[in-house]
Structure 1
């Protein structure tokens, strides 16, 4: 019996939190650009401000793409959807689903990865958190692992 497709993505509250962090990032970069713009001589000023702008734009694009990415779990595999890409990965290519922790100076965050046998692992869109014990994130992990286990007959 075939199971219905399941979508994995951020809830409205998680998307709102992602937008708050994007706004905070924007304020930090704006403050840095203003500080450097006022401190540097006129000839060098625009290079610094432009550099801040380019890094800010890349960071904001990453956060928006991450915040609105989704994954569809079907009988055949996982379909990843973000603003810039669409990708399908059959269940047979996946060797395991794992939770990865990323440590930074400002804290840590977790995401889910689909580990493939002979290819690089892929981040699963729509599943990340910065909370150590996030029930919704753990639910997403268990749903994906259950679907993968059933698909490979395990």
Structure 2
């Protein structure tokens, strides 16, 4: 099986940057509004709190937007700004699409469920569009790699049992 990268395309990364900009405006607006309402001695608490929330959210959105996954015959390799992780196919039980709902939005991501039951999000595979062909293609590709790997692992013990 050839190696394949799963990542966001240019339009999706641009959309992620727009959300990051929107988040920045909301945090800046909150900071300004609170600083106008609160007493002067409490300004720095609110500004510092908003800055910490903003920084955490921006780091999360950038890390999520530029994360990617490499599919190989041996397994998956997750790469983000802050982490690198390799998962052999034998540790993965299944692949699933998860939906998340907030007050005014809905989004989906792809998760791999490990042998112990822990689910990990696949970097570079999320969408907020209901019928996203690119997202469905990524899901089908990961499932195909998992099925091929499982078929190859099942065939191996049968051949080694013959003595």
Length, aligned pairs only: 152
The answer for the alignment partner of 1:61 in structure 2 is: 59
Q: Compute the displacement of 1:106 (Å).
A: 2.2
TM-score, length of structure 1 as denominator length: 0.97
The answer for the alignment partner of 1:151 in structure 2 is: 149
TM-score, length of structure 2 as denominator length: 0.91
Q: Runs (4+) of structure 1 moved beyond 3 Å?
A: none
1:36, 1:125 → 2: CA distance?
Answer: 36
2:113, 2:49 → 1: CA distance?
Answer: 35
SS where residue 57 of structure 2 aligns? helix
1:101, 1:121 → 2: CA distance?
Answer: 13
Gapped runs of 5+ residues in structure 2? 153-163
Give 1:91's match in structure 2, choosing from 89, 92, 101.
89
Q: Compute the displacement of 1:21 (Å).
A: 0.6
More helix by share: 2
SS where residue 25 of structure 1 aligns? helix
Give 1:124's match in structure 2, choosing from 97, 122, 138.
122
Cα RMSD of the aligned pairs, angstroms, is 0.9
The answer for the alignment partner of 2:48 in structure 1 is: 50
The answer for the alignment partner of 1:81 in structure 2 is: 79
Larger radius of gyration: 2
